Amino acid sequence: MIARISPTDLIARRDELDRLHRALDEAGGGRGVVAAITGPIACGKTEFLDATAAMNSFVTLRAMCSMEERTFQYGMLGQLLDHPELMALSSELVRMPASCTGLSVDADNHLRTEFTRTVLALAAEQPVLIGVDDVHHADAQSLLCLLHLARRIGRARVAIVLTELRRPTPAHSRFQAELLSLRHYQEIALRPLTEAQTHEFARRHLGRDTHDDVLTEVFQVTGGNLLLCRGLIDDIQEARSAGRPEAAAGRAYRLAYLGSLYRCGPMALRVARASAVLGARAEHGLVQKMTGLDQEALERVYEQMAEGRLLREGRFPHPAARSVVLDDLSAVERRGLHASALDLLRSHRVSSKILAHHQMGTGRVHGAEVVGLFTDAAREHHIAGELDKAAEYLEFACRASGDPAVHAALRADAAAIERLCNPAKSGRHLPGLLTASREGLLSSEQAVSLVCWLAMDGRPGEAAEVLAAQRAADRSDQDRAQLRVADVSLALLYPGVAVPPGPADPLTPDELASFPSAVRQRGVAENALRSALYGRPGQAEAEADYVLEHARATMDRTTLAMALLALLYTENTAAVQCWVDKLDGDEGMWTPADEAVRAGLGAEVALRRGDLAKAVECGEAALEHRLVPTLGVAAALPLSSTVAAAVRLGDLDRAERWIAEPLPEETTESLFGPHLLWARGQLHLARGRYRSAYLAFRECGERMRRGFVDVQGLALWRVDAAEAILLLGRDREEGMRLISEQLDQPLPPRARAMTLRVQAAYSPPAKGIELLDEAAELLTTAHDQYELARVLADSGDACGALRRHSRARGLFRRARHLAARCGAVPLLRRLGVDSPDVGTTEDATLAQRITSLTEAERRVASRAVVGRTNKEIASQLFVTASTVEQHLTNVFRKLGVKGRQQLPEELADVG
């Protein structure tokens, strides 16, 4: 009786193993067998054969066939004869295959007869196992010898075990047909592992605690192909040891796939290579034309590769599989396949992106036709939002063009796109574009884009030179309109740099009417910004609203940003927030640079509404380091918001870190320079450097006046300078004069409230309380919780000085509540909260819960907490009593209280 096989890695093969055991038992008992282990590629056939050969009760003769050696006459037979037992029986036979090239028919017959006689003689002494792996690749002469023996082992202790693909090659068909006629022949068919079997196999090697996601990935990537499973498992184990993501196909998987592919034969290799080059366009008809196979042969190959899990519906199971097939091609082979694909696809209606990819693959990348193809591909990538690829193909088109004008235009387009997706790299285009501008090779649209780039990059002088060069050329009316708008835009961005200095001239209604639509919208946006900067808030808001309604449809980023800035400088933060929220809904329409602009505006709005944490969050999102070069001088806006919010949160180290962020040298001369100077002054105040703060605020004001943009929506520099004077403890007259100057200007509610707060500090306590009361009322409508908390704190101090202690306690309590909601640590410490991180936790949690209430729920709760009945509340709010009861039920649930008596008194302040 033969010992049983129990290899640990043979998953779910019990029935097949039992059949093999029975066949070997018969052979050991004197009834010869021929067993063929069949199945698709890499399903464990060789493992079966190896397990059989390991049985020590048989004399084992082994051979491993390969596609490359199938032309060697008697190559397989030579491997079988290389055994000491056969050498001892017939040394002549062992030497014969080495000299068997071109034998006569008689010599061939003698070799077969001698081989059969020797094996049978050996089997008379002890059982013989002949194992041949991949017999479908064996040479024809060796197969005839093996067939000669197979016919004569009926009563011998001989077992012939073969592994072969289920679908034989034509040369192998005769051998298989002969075997099928033998009574002692049997076939043992294997299949790839099922999903459950694959999971079990992976667990044995990766551990029982392996996550289900990893197991699922193993099956999806390998389809149960045993060789691919082992390769992927090796990669996962290596990734684990290196701390990388686990289910990542790497070198072992790639080699396993390539090995499986080569074992399928040359036709499968041709199909795989054509499919890899065609990629997503690997349709059967195109693959057939590229490989030259007939329909029947192609179907056989597809079926073979599908059974082996090397292709699924004509597609690769993993990108790494396609990648290794492409890498296995020589440069000449790859160029040839791309050329074939390009020729085939030109007759199909495929995108320029696909054609351009194959054009690159051919290596033929010059000429006007190629320039057109690459330009079309870039346009398609741009429309699809694939900016990196768009910039890449425009760069290829630049290199392919020999026309200076075309080259300049393509470089301008490539730079514009690259500035959005890779701003750090885009600067390399500037020297070439400046040269093209001097030589008159840029269109007006490209020149205006270059002007904007230079201006935002802090290079207004070069921007002005580009405009001057464009004006000197003979241009159309549309070109002149674009240049006029660019002139106004440059003057707005650098208000104090114009020669001679003066406010930017507005675009007249007649001019705007003559402009094309897109240019007209840009012009109206510039007029809106100009109106906001020069103290005409009503006109600015009307113009900005018009622009936002119309420009949103075309998503003109620069125009939208200018209109939103105009609303910001009119202190209409509610409108800015509303539009930022609307634009948030336009998913997929914004580049990372656009997102940075939106986040920067969101940071400033959050700061002006007292939402300090959000201001820091939005500001830091806008200031992501790879996007700062795109923002250029405009980075000063989110940077100043972040610094000021961090100061108010008490995070001075973060504020110091951001204020040191490098910006273009001309930033302070730009429209955004006052923001930066103001933020620097705020940090100096927090650090106790009052003299430095005063100087920063004065410089801020000087630059605003010099640029004719001295409006409160940009910075309340007089108020802040007056506060610094107060802290310095001298020259109160200058401070009062600054406050008086500020109050002489028309002020929106928030700006007036902030001015009144500082004015109150210069006034006697009784007068100060009146001013602070007015300021508190104004800030309630302005929705700036931080400034309201400061006003309430100052009011508490003033009431305390007048011994109005009851009111002072109420004011301090409300101030602490609002400061806790804002997270304003320094203000909380001033209000007597020694450990804000601990002492305000409960207040902050309560504030968050109160914030979760709807407006209607807050109105009801604020009345219930002061003792109003449901009927009284319903009467005051013009709703039914049942509605009041429903709102109160929601309030109790959200605040975690059981009834009216437990409602927090802070609700009265909220109401």
* Residue type at 307 in one-letter notation: E
Work out the pLDDT band at 106, boundaries 50, 70, 90: confident
Whether 102 contacts 91, CB under 8 Å: no
Model pLDDT for residues 568-594, shown as the tens digit of each residue: 999 898 888 888 777 765 554 556 666
14-189 CATH pick, 3.40.50.2300, 3.20.20.140, 3.40.50.300, 1.25.40.80? 3.40.50.300
Model pLDDT for residues 245-266, shown as the tens digit of each residue: 666 788 999 999 999 898 888 8
Work out the pLDDT band at 453, boundaries 50, 70, 90: confident
All structural domains of the chain with their residue ranges: 14-189, 195-270, 273-498, 853-910
Check whether domain 853-910 has CATH 1.10.150.120, yes or no = no
Question: Given a cut of 70, is residue 837 above it in pLDDT?
Answer: no
Question: Given a cut of 50, is residue 2 above it in pLDDT?
Answer: no
Cα–Cα dist 463/491, whole Å? 11
Strands 158-165 and 185-189: what pairing? unpaired
Q: For the chain, what is the radius of gyration of the CA atoms?
A: 41
Token output for 302: 């597809």
Work out the pLDDT band at 838, boundaries 50, 70, 90: very low
Cα–Cα dist 814/835, whole Å? 18
Cα–Cα dist 205/66, whole Å? 29
Model pLDDT for residues 203-235, shown as the tens digit of each residue: 988 888 888 888 999 999 999 888 899 999 999
Question: Given a cut of 50, is residue 4 above it in pLDDT?
Answer: no
Whether 615 contacts 642, CB under 8 Å: yes
Q: Quick one: average pLDDT of 602-622?
A: 90
The DSSP secondary structure of 572-599, one letter per residue, reads -HHHHHHHHHHHHTSTTS--HHHHHHHH
Model pLDDT for residues 15-67, shown as the tens digit of each residue: 888 888 888 889 988 999 999 998 888 888 887 778 776 766 889 999 998 88
Whether 317 contacts 227, CB under 8 Å: no
Give the model's pLDDT for residue 500. Answer: 52
Model pLDDT for residues 506-562, shown as the tens digit of each residue: 788 888 888 877 788 888 988 999 899 888 889 999 999 888 887 665 556 778 888
* Residue type at 522 in one-letter notation: R
Whether 615 contacts 599, CB under 8 Å: no
Identical fold, 273-498 and 853-910: no
Whether 719 contacts 755, CB under 8 Å: yes
- 3-class SS at 312? strand
Whether 161 contacts 52, CB under 8 Å: yes
The set of long-range contacts for 859-864, using a CB threshold of 8 Å and a minimum separation of 24, is: 859/911, 860/884, 860/887, 860/888, 860/891, 861/887, 861/888, 861/891, 861/903, 861/907, 861/910, 861/911, 862/907, 862/908, 862/910, 862/911, 863/911, 864/888, 864/891, 864/900, 864/903, 864/907
Work out the pLDDT band at 688, boundaries 50, 70, 90: very high
637 — phi, psi (to 5°)? -65, -60
Place of tokens 């003066």: 502
Q: Which residues pair with 130 in a beta bridge?
A: 61, 160
273-498 CATH pick, 1.25.40, 3.30.110, 1.10.10, 1.10.3470? 1.25.40
